[in-house]
Structure 1
Amino acid sequence: MDVDQYRNIWSTSSGIPLLNEKYSFYYDETGNVRKFRLTDNGVNAEEAIVNDFILGGVLFNGNSPPCNLELLYDELKIQAPEIKFRTLAGRGADFWTAIGKKPIQQFLTWLESSGLYVHYATLNNMYYSIVDIVDSLFVTQTQFNFGPEWLEALKASWHRFVVAHLDEILPIFYRYDYPSLVKADIKDFCYELSDLIQSYDDDDFYLENFRQLLKENGRGEELFFIKDNTPGLLVEEYSGLRTGRCALYKDSIHYFDEEAEAESSLEAMPFTLNGGKLDNYKFIDSKTERLIQVSDVWVGLLGKLFFILDESTQDSIKSKMESLTEEQKECVRIINSLIDRAENLHRALIQSVNSIDMVQHRGSLLALMDELV
């Protein structure tokens, strides 16, 4: 697909103007389980259910970074060949422990004053794995006026139900070779899911809408996006996030950490520019590029942050914030400030492939944390 055509469609549908200046993006990632697939007793990587894949890092305008990297490395006094999140926070540290560590505090203080912007894209593996069912309903039942907000609400309700009943849903998926159903199985698959939802008598308007639409699709024996895939393979890899960033910011240069699988997937870049393959990216060994190391610390911290937000309530966050030191509260303030600064530059620098419920939940708790610092 021509990259300019893609960008224009994206901008029109999202209402977000395009960013056409040249920036230098640096990336690292966390939560990469390589392939997320069904097994006869669940999934191959249970951690992928509760942890997002996150691709992110730092960027700046032009070719020359505005920051003093020597100052950061001198302050950290790290003897390892490269800095990583686990080096600064300690192996196995959760978010609260991490922001209690002096090296993380020094890192965030430096990052806020560095002149760099942050960016990230998160992908929830389970949400990504199941929303094709909802999108399939949208394709076949054109008699209904599916607005984007209504679709998001359907997806959120369906995702919430799946997560609450994984022990029943995953065996159904496995038995029918989801996400690659044969036509003869579609009716039974839809009816079995519909009956399961009905058995819980959940007082959820959107879930009931989804259930009724699912039954209707079962009668027609059609699920457009749930066929001709690899049976049991829920997430094959994460190249879509990488290629999407390269396309959306086509006038920029994108530096990814060296990884054979990622490099191989980008060889099949789906976007073209002036008739040729879009080629605005490079892979670099993190040991030789400190801005990729900086990106590692940033996305590592985000991974820990989102995990605790997903597990928390407003009351538990309020209680925890009361127990933080002033240094930890300053870390919370800086993280919120960095995210706000990125969104002010361009809203799409902060991207989430996740349930709208979860996006709003995280956002509300981050805002609450910012109020309490």
Structure 2
Amino acid sequence: MELDIAEFRKMEAELHGFELPDFSMKFYYDEMRNARKFRVSSKGVNSSDAVEYDYILRGIAFACKEEELNIDDLFKRIKLQPTAKELRYNLLVNGHKDFWRGLNRNSLSEFIDWLERNPIYIHYVTLNNLYYAIVDIVDSLWETQSQFCFSQEWVCLLKAALYEVVCKNKEEFYAILGHYEYPDVSDQNIRDFCMEIVCFIENYGDENDFYLECFRQMLKTNAKQGRLLYAQGEEKGELIREYYQMRISRCYMFKNSFHHFDIEEEDMKMMRDVRLLYDGKEFCNYDFVESTGNKLIQVADAVVGLLSNLFHFIDITTEEEFLNLLQNATPKQKKNIKSIAQLIERSEEKNITMLQNLNDISITRRRGRFLTLMQIIV
């Protein structure tokens, strides 16, 4: 498959409102929560973890020469045990499951301090599996009702309304998807499929939710039309087939940079079949490397673990609970959480963080909570 990236880059930049990133950097990646295949049947989904946790592709980026980072100095400072084959977040926190307690570990402090003192940026994209799987139902509305596609913000609010009601009633919604073999609903079942979702909203939705009511009315219209474009023609029950496209998009968005991915066999196979073109010329700006032999990939892996645990902490911690933790926090905990916030802020200013799925309601909500917590720290 050939992919001429010029138009893709332009569309994505316009969609999310950022300038095309034409600078040159070296990106190092690792991933987390790769569900491989995310499927639904009449019995539910094949992985509850794929619903509870986002897929994450993250790591570090820098413009300087690799030797300027003095990576060997970092490994001396964190004092990994001789039995450790490679650096991982769990080793930095001595296996602590509690993110807040982990912030008190000397090895994690050394790691965060090294990140902060060097010209390193943190980059990440995330994919909410459930959101990504169901919002095609909203996108299908525009084929028959394009006059109501007022703006990108409007579309996102409709998607958010659907996602919110589904999150509160997952099993009931899974049953509908599984029964009609979504995303391969047959032509003769489109009307019933749409009307079952209408009934689902009537039974479980907030009747005062303006956007949910708009979606319900539009879905009724689509039921009469017998059309739901993106709910048809795919593998029965297969909500997400692969994640390699997220790697591809990083390569073409940052076309002047080089991207080093940790080895992932399935994605490697898929990416070999994609020829990237720019101005009609083929280029390749990525490779896959074994983490055990590359310390910068190991740093990327540790960053993935750090941010994953940070975002989970943000998701489950109320502002009141956070204030109580701060009151009893050690100087090390306060310094580390503030340093992480500054690292993320530095990276966001460079526009290398969430260039995908900015409209995912779970991400925007988390981002708002993150800003609130960081303001409390300051």
Q: Same fold (TM over 0.5)?
A: yes
Aligned counterpart for 1:8 among listed residues 7, 10, 25: 10
Give the aligned length: 372
Query: What pairs with 1:1-373 in structure 2 (closer than 5 Å)?
Result: 1-61=3-63, 63-64=65-66, 66-78=68-80, 79=82, 80-91=84-95, 93-200=97-204, 202=206, 203-269=208-274, 271-346=276-351, 348-353=352-357, 356-373=360-377
Answer whether contact 2:122 2:343 (CA < 8 A) is retained. yes
Please report the TM-score for the alignment, with normalisation by the length of structure 1: 0.94
Matches of 2:85 and 2:326, distance apart in 1: 35
Letter in 1 for 2:160: A
Deviation at 1:95, TM superposition (A): 2.1
Answer whether contact 2:79 2:107 (CA < 8 A) is retained. no
Deviation at 1:66, TM superposition (A): 3.3
Please report the TM-score for the alignment, with normalisation by the length of structure 2: 0.93
Report SS of the residue matched to 1:28: strand
Report SS of the residue matched to 1:66: helix
Answer whether contact 2:5 2:276 (CA < 8 A) is retained. yes
Answer whether contact 1:42 1:171 (CA < 8 A) is retained. yes
Deviation at 1:41, TM superposition (A): 2.5
Letter in 2 for 1:72: L
Write out per-residue CA displacement over residues 190-228 of structure 1, whole angstroms, 9 at most, x where no aligned residue.
Answer: 100101111235121111111111111111111111111
Letter in 2 for 1:56: R
Answer whether contact 2:93 2:105 (CA < 8 A) is retained. yes
Matches of 1:262 and 1:201, distance apart in 2: 38
Deviation at 1:342, TM superposition (A): 0.8
Q: Specify whether residues 48 and 25 from structure 1 end up closer, same or farther in structure 2 by C-alpha distance, changes over 3 A only.
A: same
Matches of 2:220 and 2:138, distance apart in 1: 12
Matches of 1:288 and 1:34, distance apart in 2: 25
Letter in 1 for 2:335: E
Answer whether contact 2:131 2:360 (CA < 8 A) is retained. no
Matches of 2:261 and 2:174, distance apart in 1: 34
- Structure 2 residues not aligned, in runs of 5+: none
Q: What fraction of aligned residue pairs are identical, expressed as a percent? A: 35
Matches of 2:232 and 2:52, distance apart in 1: 26
Q: Specify whether residues 308 and 351 from structure 1 end up closer, same or farther in structure 2 by C-alpha distance, changes over 3 A only.
A: farther
Matches of 2:141 and 2:323, distance apart in 1: 40
Matches of 1:213 and 1:22, distance apart in 2: 45
- With 81-90 and 151-160 compared, the bigger mean Cα shift is at 81-90
Letter in 2 for 1:250: K
Matches of 1:183 and 1:92, distance apart in 2: 52
Matches of 2:48 and 2:64, distance apart in 1: 41
Matches of 1:244 and 1:152, distance apart in 2: 21
